[in-house]
Structure 1
Amino acid sequence: MLLDAGAKAAPPAPPGKAPHAATSSEEAEARAHFEEGVARFDKREYREALEAFRRSLWLKKNRNTMGYVASCLKQLGQYDDALEQYEEMRREYPKLPAKIEAMVSADMAELSGLVGTLAVAGDAPAGASLFVDDRLRGRLPLEMPLRVSAGRRAVRVEKEGVEPIRTTVDVRAGKENVAELVATSRDGWLVVSEKHNWVLHVELDGKHVGVTPWRGLVDVGEHKVRLHGFIWEEALLACDAPTTVAEHGAKVASSVTTASVRLYEETRVVLGAEEQDASLRVESTPTGATVRIDSKAVGKAPWEGRLPLGKHEIEVSAGGFFPAKQTVQLERRKQRELSVSLERQPDLEAEARAARNRKIGVGLAYGVGVAGLGVFAVTGGLALNRLNELNARCPNKQCPSTEAGNQRAAEALGTAATVGLVVAGLGAGAGTAVLLLTRPGDGERRVGPSVSAGVGLGGFEVRGRF
């Protein structure tokens, strides 16, 4: 021990030198604190003595004062601090007198048997403050193990914004001891920003968590981060940084990146968002057609909006028309215009009704014609027979009065035959006119009857297919 508890006076001055006289007010004040410390030390008031010696050292560095500080720390059980104080004394005064050097060496040997070393492992966040028995001993990570007095020691690690980590260690003298830290909450800080200072939505592991710049506590480990949103086109062209979230405009997004978050540490991620869409305008004939993009209905034509870059399938449809599909390739900052003319669908029900009407009309017309032919055939034959009989009974076409009735009957039959023939002609003409005037147009199905008429051997002939 350099100075024992029973010391009655201040340590002697170095050999061959008289006690140093105060040459300034600071030196006088330092001397006063030193003398107070000696007086307290003699009374075994070691804590008060330590404070007085430290005030003296703060004003003027002195070898004797440093020796008293080490002695006070030893008496207070702060063996590690006492040992460090002796080491500092040796650095400041490397050529101590032999007697003092012997006393210092003996004290340091004794103190070395009363301390151990302390290392920190486990959840040891970088930059955190390390406290041993509520005394700040440094910041993590430690450059080398701490020297700590033997005994049960309370170890605490603190870092701003996170919950402190606490443990206790039974420090064994002369041994290396390890404080294994285990955090109760395993979180770390994640800071996300956009390199253009754009205010965009932050997507963390597929969930929206806020807007840039964003900072929050997340679980330790790897996380997927992505930015997306809109930028007003005016700001995009002017390269201005917006201060609020835009709900429309040019669509922008970043690629997905992986952020590795460590316990209680701050991980910074800076992402660059790029424009992700282009303008498209769709017009249709007829107007008002439904527009679908990638199978999703977006509105009625004419339609205009912004879409992601790349290929998209555009479908335009309207009632009574065949739908039209087209694939377009959208490029950055280029507007595409798409004009679609729809082809009208055939009205099958109307065609069926027209076919039925043609069938009925042609059937009626040719039916009348056939009936007229029948009347002509019957009445014509009867009229011809009557005329032959009259010619036989009336030579030189001079008939007696008794044949007047037969003459009138023959004339009536001839008239009826003529009418039947006229009706047959009109029916055939009407049926033919219906076929010609109501025949199916190009692209229509022929669903009506097929009828032909003509005169063949043996009389007038009608052929048809319905």
Structure 2
Amino acid sequence: MVNSVVIAGRRPTLVRTIHLRTLIGWVLALWLIHSGARAEPLEPSGKAVKADVSRDEAEARAQFRVGVAHFDKQEYREALEAFRSSLWLKRNRNTMGNIASCLKQLGQYDDALEQYEEMRREYPNLPAKIDAIVAADMAELLGLVGTLTVTGDAPAGALLFIDDRVRGKLPLEKPLRVSAGSRAVRVEKEGFAPLRTTVEVKAGKESVAELVAMSRKGRLVVSEKHNWVLRVELDGKDVGVTPWQGLVDAGQHKVRLHGFMGVEALAACEAPGVSVEEGARVASGFEVALVKLYEETRVVLGAEEQDASLRVESTPGGATVRIDARVVGTAPWEGRLPLGEHVIEVSANGFFSAKQSVVLERRKERELSVSLERQPDLVAEARAGRNRKIGVGLAYGVGVVGLGVFAVAGGLALDKVNDLDARCPNKQCPSTEAGSQRVAAALGTAATVGLLVGGLGAAMGTGVLLLTGPGSSQGRPGPSVSAGVGLGSFEMKGRF
């Protein structure tokens, strides 16, 4: 039975120089495995198979012998395939040990180590000598492997290849055991360009494969919830019809559907097989799709009949138009909107905003003309207020001066007249009083002029207040002024 055992070497290049002690140990170990296994011992080549052996078991033994033959010729890959075929037909510790030996000879130290671990899990009660040999071989293999983690642009669900061998899907649950040396790392996800890098794995240490995507794309899939075939508008550009999918840059994208539906198909809620160019206009609202790197993002939009148009004009022109709190453009604006009620708001700098609700009905056009009320110019108002104060002050100042002249000149004139009356009985004054008469007349004239100037100044100041006061244009009570003039005195009261 011993002559059918595969002898596992330490390294591929040292297969002919294995220590005699290791050789004898593996021969004894594998013989014990044969004798201790529950399955019948594998028969040597040429010996008849017992009648009670199943067909699968017989084929397993035949594949085992093929593997032994290839291993003796150092044809380790062919031997590995034969041993795996045998193990698939019949689980056997001997076969598992030979698979580990082939993997080790092929330099797949990580797989060889995993094969030994699987062998120990499946057959935990190995004889002491066999367990010692397996442990020694595993210790040597641990010195030939490291671990690998994948970071960077690592798409979830992608297949991970190490040296063209599939090693699992991302993300990895734990660092991956990999044979030491230069390793080619490749990540593939259906529908995307593969990611590649090379990592130098060091024995007993953890290495990192940093993946960087050269094309930073994600997949966007757009459909209409009624399965209508409509044009797809992506970031303002027409890219095709629904259902649509394509690779786009990672990030945010604005998507909208628009097109036409036959009136009969729309009434029956039927989904035509192709896009049409006439009929009832339908469209969806805009939706922002967040596309992630190497991931698929699905957007399902619902289109509605848009067969109603609205035109908005404004005074002044160029005002901003908002429909349902969303800016759609500047006036004059014209477009189609979903049927029903909409809130239209028009605004412009320096004017009060105007808001109005409109109800759009099917196949009817609506026009809306909005005149905006100008907001007060606070700077101009302040300037006008200053000018008003100056004008009122000057007018009243002139009035005060004029009334002052009237009071002084009038008082002097009155005194002079009373003096002349005392010296001129019966109003007959001698020629010597001619000068006094002229002075009295001049003072009277000055008093009269002062009264006229004072009255005119007071009237002008009051007029300016009444005509230009802020209350006159904003509905607030305007100023009021009352004045009293008496001989030798002047009084003015007012409210401003």
**TM-score category (smaller protein):** 0.5 to 0.7
Task: Flag the 1:54–1:279 CA change in 2: closer, same or farther, 3 A.
Answer: same
- Residue by residue over 1:363-403, the C-alpha shift from the partner in whole angstroms, topping out at 9 and shown as x without a partner, is xxxxxxxxxxxxxxxxxxxxxxxxxxxxxxxxxxxxxxxxx
Amino acid at match of 1:34: F
Give the structure 2 partner of residue 159 of structure 1.
Answer: 189
- Residue by residue over 1:71-116, the C-alpha shift from the partner in whole angstroms, topping out at 9 and shown as x without a partner, is 1111211100001111111222222222212211221121112111
Amino acid at match of 1:245: S
Specify which of 41, 56, 66 is matched with residue 19 of structure 1.
41
Give the structure 2 partner of residue 236 of structure 1.
Answer: 266
Q: Structure 2: how far apart are the matches of 1:203 and 1:312?
A: 25
Give the structure 2 partner of residue 128 of structure 1.
Answer: 158
Q: CA deviation at 1:311?
A: 6.9
Q: CA deviation at 1:270?
A: 0.7
Partner SS state of residue 78, structure 2: helix
Task: Flag the 1:46–1:233 CA change in 2: closer, same or farther, 3 A.
Answer: same
Indicate if the aligned counterparts of 2:42 and 2:61 stay in contact, CA closer than 8 A: no
Partner SS state of residue 190, structure 2: coil
Give the structure 1 partner of residue 105 of structure 2.
Answer: 75
Amino acid at match of 1:116: G
Give the structure 2 partner of residue 365 of structure 1.
Answer: none
Give the structure 2 partner of residue 119 of structure 1.
Answer: 149
2:172 matched to 1:142?
yes
Indicate if the aligned counterparts of 1:251 and 1:308 stay in contact, CA closer than 8 A: no
Size of the alignment, in residue pairs? 305
2:204 matched to 1:177?
no
Specify which of 212, 215, 225 is matched with residue 195 of structure 1.
225
Give the structure 1 partner of residue 323 of structure 2.
Answer: none
Indicate if the aligned counterparts of 2:232 and 2:238 stay in contact, CA closer than 8 A: yes
Q: Structure 1: how far apart are the matches of 2:308 and 2:189?
A: 47
Q: Structure 2: how far apart are the matches of 1:336 and 1:135?
A: 66
Deviates further, 210-219 or 92-101: 92-101
Partner SS state of residue 174, structure 1: coil
Task: Flag the 1:312–1:336 CA change in 2: closer, same or farther, 3 A.
Answer: farther
Q: Structure 1: how far apart are the matches of 2:36 and 2:365?
A: 99
Percent of pairs identical after alignment?
Answer: 68
TM-score by length of structure 2 reads 0.56
- Residue by residue over 1:127-181, the C-alpha shift from the partner in whole angstroms, topping out at 9 and shown as x without a partner, is 2221111111122222222110000001111223322211100001111211111
Give the structure 2 partner of residue 323 of structure 1.
Answer: none
Q: Structure 2: how far apart are the matches of 1:194 and 1:250?
A: 16
Amino acid at match of 2:223: S
2:360 matched to 1:331?
yes
Q: Structure 2: how far apart are the matches of 1:16 and 1:200?
A: 68
What pairs with 1:432-451 in structure 2 (closer than 5 Å)? none
Q: Structure 2: how far apart are the matches of 1:273 and 1:263?
A: 28
Task: Flag the 1:311–1:127 CA change in 2: closer, same or farther, 3 A.
Answer: closer
Partner SS state of residue 83, structure 1: helix
Partner SS state of residue 14, structure 1: helix
Specify which of 244, 262, 272 is matched with residue 214 of structure 1.
244
Task: Flag the 1:41–1:279 CA change in 2: closer, same or farther, 3 A.
Answer: closer
Larger radius of gyration: 1
Q: Structure 1: how far apart are the matches of 2:208 and 2:156?
A: 17
TM-score by length of structure 1 reads 0.59
Give the structure 2 partner of residue 109 of structure 1.
Answer: 139
Indicate if the aligned counterparts of 1:278 and 1:330 stay in contact, CA closer than 8 A: no
Indicate if the aligned counterparts of 2:37 and 2:92 stay in contact, CA closer than 8 A: no
Q: CA deviation at 1:40?
A: 2.9
Task: Flag the 1:97–1:3 CA change in 2: closer, same or farther, 3 A.
Answer: farther
Structure 2: gaps spanning 5 or more residues? 1-5, 10-14, 44-48, 311-330, 345-355, 368-496
Q: Structure 1: how far apart are the matches of 2:361 and 2:243?
A: 26
Q: CA deviation at 1:336?
A: 7.4
Indicate if the aligned counterparts of 2:80 and 2:99 stay in contact, CA closer than 8 A: yes
2:297 matched to 1:276?
no
Indicate if the aligned counterparts of 2:282 and 2:304 stay in contact, CA closer than 8 A: yes
Indicate if the aligned counterparts of 2:230 and 2:260 stay in contact, CA closer than 8 A: yes
Amino acid at match of 1:331: L
Indicate if the aligned counterparts of 1:80 and 1:147 stay in contact, CA closer than 8 A: yes
Partner SS state of residue 277, structure 1: coil
Task: Flag the 1:337–1:111 CA change in 2: closer, same or farther, 3 A.
Answer: closer
Task: Flag the 1:297–1:167 CA change in 2: closer, same or farther, 3 A.
Answer: closer
Amino acid at match of 1:200: L
- Residue by residue over 1:202-240, the C-alpha shift from the partner in whole angstroms, topping out at 9 and shown as x without a partner, is 111111111111111111111111112222221121111
Q: CA deviation at 1:192?
A: 0.3
Partner SS state of residue 70, structure 2: helix
Amino acid at match of 2:360: E
Partner SS state of residue 82, structure 1: helix
Q: Structure 2: how far apart are the matches of 1:297 and 1:63?
A: 82
Give the structure 2 partner of residue 258 of structure 1.
Answer: 288
Task: Flag the 1:78–1:307 CA change in 2: closer, same or farther, 3 A.
Answer: closer
Q: Structure 2: how far apart are the matches of 1:312 and 1:257?
A: 20
Task: Flag the 1:87–1:256 CA change in 2: closer, same or farther, 3 A.
Answer: same
Indicate if the aligned counterparts of 2:256 and 2:286 stay in contact, CA closer than 8 A: yes
Q: Structure 1: how far apart are the matches of 2:145 and 2:190?
A: 31
Q: Structure 1: how far apart are the matches of 2:337 and 2:72?
A: 88
Task: Flag the 1:297–1:200 CA change in 2: closer, same or farther, 3 A.
Answer: closer
Partner SS state of residue 132, structure 2: helix
Q: Structure 2: how far apart are the matches of 1:209 and 1:16?
A: 66
Amino acid at match of 2:286: V
Q: CA deviation at 1:332?
A: 4.8
